[in-house]
């Protein structure tokens, strides 16, 4: 007969398996019981205050003592009901390791409509908006929101895997027509910044493959994995968004996703020159161009990214 494990040994084994349980405060957050606890705390404080006032007024004449007694009794009943409800909910979720795991991972919520979530977040965005993707179909569908955040002076970063890159063509092939998505987004930004100030708006092009569709709205990360499937109607590969997760700012996963974005941003080899782009914007708006011609105009508006400003040593070296 095997000896029974002690609670300490059980906790050690759970840690080794990555299944260490959260403390009681962590579980309250994971089980979404914060509101219950806040309300319970407030009602308890009010009950104690009512009892104190009752004890102070009971030796005096008038109805004040009876009023405080009735109030204290009512509050006490509310405390008992809410405490019972909170305890029942806590017991129901007590063995729910999944909810604890989601919280430990840093996921604050799961969503199945990424566009609706981003639209809501962008409405209140006042500091920064970042987006990364291949075709930017979803980003272009949020054009009115993007124009509004540009008009409010929000710093914007767009990271694009362009259709002329090898990574893009390995996933979608050379015939995918997506340039209008990019042009649509950039046109919205130009309209939002009608004063011509683009110092805090950057668009970079990277050739590395992407594994996540990621957005940053102020401090909220919205991301989800790419699932590449064959389109049933046209037989073409397309990326489907099955679910989206919203990440805690203080979580390790939040740091990893932002770290991935910063890495891709740092190795990008080209960026958009807003002066060149705005010069060619009338051609994109008025001429009847195919996708290849639009790509060529966009490529002509791109310039290489220098890792550091030129120095005298660079000039001297260039003459040898």
Most confident listed range (56-65, 132-141, 217-226, 303-312) = 132-141
Residue 10 has pLDDT above 70, yes or no: no
Q: Is the per-residue pLDDT at 150 higher than 90?
A: yes
Determine the Cα–Cα distance for residues 147 and 110; give it in Å rounded to an integer.
27
pLDDT at residue 114, as a whole number: 81
- Is 70 within 8 Å of 210 (Cβ atoms)? no
In terms of Cα–Cα distance, which of 86, 89, 72 is closest to 40? 86
In DSSP terms, 131 is beta-bridged to: 158, 215
- Tell me the average pLDDT across 66-83: 83
C-alpha–C-alpha distance, residues 94 and 24, integer Å: 10
Share of the chain above pLDDT 90, in %: 25
pLDDT (0 to 100) of residue 227: 65
Q: Is the pLDDT of residue 18 over 50?
A: no
Q: How many helices (H) and strands (E) does the chain have?
A: 14, 11
Give the single-character DSSP code of 175. T
Fold of 108-304: Endonuclease; Chain A (3.30.870)
Residue 23 pLDDT exceeds 80: no
How far apart are the C-alpha atoms of 253 and 220, rounded to whole Å? 12
Residue 302 pLDDT: 94
- The predicted pLDDT at position 309 comes to 44
Is 41 a residue whose pLDDT tops 60?
yes
Rounded distance, CA 184 to CA 177, Å? 13
227 contact partners, CB below 8 Å, separation of at least 6: 239, 240, 242
Tens-digit pLDDT profile for residues 56-73 = 877 776 677 778 888 888
- How far from 82 is each of 86, 87, 255, CA to CA, in Å? 6, 8, 37
Between CA 160 and CA 134 the distance in angstroms is 6
Domain boundaries, the chain: 19-105, 108-304
Cα–Cα distance for residue pair 310/215, rounded to 1 Å: 33
Q: Could you report the per-residue pLDDT of 152-199, keeping only the tens digit for each?
A: 999 999 999 988 898 888 877 776 688 999 999 999 999 999 888 999
CB neighbour list of residue 220: distance below 8 Å, 6 or more residues apart: 121, 246, 247, 249
Per residue in 240-290, pLDDT tens? 555 565 656 666 777 888 888 899 999 999 999 999 999 999 888 777 888
110 near 225, Cβ under 8 Å?
A: no
Residue 54: its pLDDT value, please? 79
Residue 106 is predicted with a pLDDT of 57
Q: Are 123 and 97 in contact (CB under 8 A)?
A: no
pLDDT for the residue numbered 190: 95
Q: N- to C-terminal Cα distance for the chain?
A: 83
- The string of pLDDT tens digits covering residues 88-119 is 776 666 555 555 555 555 556 666 678 888 99
What confidence score (pLDDT) does residue 318 get?
A: 40
Confidence of residue 310 (pLDDT cuts 50, 70, 90): very low
Q: Where are the alpha helices (DSSP H) in 58-142?
A: 64-93, 97-105, 114-123, 137-141
What average pLDDT is seen over the chain? Answer: 77
Handedness of CA 189, 162, 297, 286 (dihedral sign): negative
Would you state the pLDDT for residue 17? Answer: 44
Q: For residue 248, give the 3-state DSSP assignment.
A: coil
């Amino acid at each position: 007969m095997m000896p029974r494990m002690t609670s300490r040994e059980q906790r050690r084994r759970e840690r080794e398996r990555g299944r260490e349980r959260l403390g009681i405060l962590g579980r309250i957050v994971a089980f979404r019981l914060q509101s219950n606890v806040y309300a319970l705390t407030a009602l308890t404080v009010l009950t104690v205050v009512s009892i104190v006032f009752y004890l102070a007024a009971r030796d005096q004449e008038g109805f004040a003592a009876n009023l405080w007694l009735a109030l204290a009794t009512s509050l006490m009943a509310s405390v008992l009901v809410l405490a019972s409800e909170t305890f029942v909910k806590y017991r129901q979720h007590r063995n729910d390791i999944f909810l604890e795991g989601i919280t430990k991972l840093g996921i604050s919520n799961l969503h199945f409509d990424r566009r609706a979530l981003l639209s809501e977040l962008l409405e209140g965005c006042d500091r920064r908006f970042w987006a990364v993707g291949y075709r930017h179909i979803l980003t272009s569908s949020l054009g009115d929101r993007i124009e509004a955040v540009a008009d409010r002076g929000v710093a914007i970063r767009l990271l694009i895997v362009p259709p002329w890159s090898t990574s893009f063509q390995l996933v979608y092939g050379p015939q995918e027509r997506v340039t209008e998505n990019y042009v649509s987004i950039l046109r919205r930004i130009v309209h939002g910044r009608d004063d011509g100030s683009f110092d805090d708006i950057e668009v970079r092009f990277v050739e590395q493959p992407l594994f996540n569709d990621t957005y940053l709205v102020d401090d909220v990360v919205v991301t989800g994995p790419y699932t590449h499937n064959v389109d049933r109607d046209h037989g073409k590969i397309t990326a489907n968004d099955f679910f989206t997760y919203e990440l805690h700012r203080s979580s390790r996963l939040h740091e990893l996703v932002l770290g991935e974005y910063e890495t891709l941003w740092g190795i990008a080899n080209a960026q958009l020159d807003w002066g060149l782009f705005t010069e060619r914007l009338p051609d994109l708006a008025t001429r009847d161009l195919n996708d290849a011609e639009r790509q060529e105009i966009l490529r002509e508006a791109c310039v290489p990214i220098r890792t550091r400003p030129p120095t005298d040593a660079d000039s001297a070296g260039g003459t040898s």
